[in-house]
Amino acid sequence: MSEKVKVPGFEEKLQQVQDLTARIESGELPLEDSVKEFERGMKILGELTTELEGMNRRLTVLQNGKETEVPDENV
């Protein structure tokens, strides 16, 4: 039986970045772990930026009154 992998939504990804930031800022992590968490946070931020750009394109089309659906590259 195949299990569905739950892809985190925008809000969940944002929460992950906030949690990572808090862990790094706490000063309790060793330097190497802090760097790894920072890298992970930057990757998630890149994904969030891509999602926001896609949403912005869709909203721009809607605001311009075009009735055609905008192709969504992320779906």
Q: Is pLDDT at 19 greater than 60 in this prediction?
A: yes
The residue-averaged pLDDT of 49-61 equals 93
d(CA 45, CA 60): 22
- The mean pLDDT of 43-67, rounded to a whole number, is 90
**Residue 13 in this model has a pLDDT that exceeds 70:** yes
Q: pLDDT of 35-54, one tens digit each?
A: 999 999 999 999 999 999 99
SS3 13: helix
Q: Letter for the amino acid at 65?
A: G
Average pLDDT over residues 18-47: 96
Q: How far apart are CA 67 and CA 44, in angstroms?
A: 32
Which residues fall within 8 angstroms of residue 37, CB to CB, at 6 or more apart? Answer: 20, 23, 24, 29
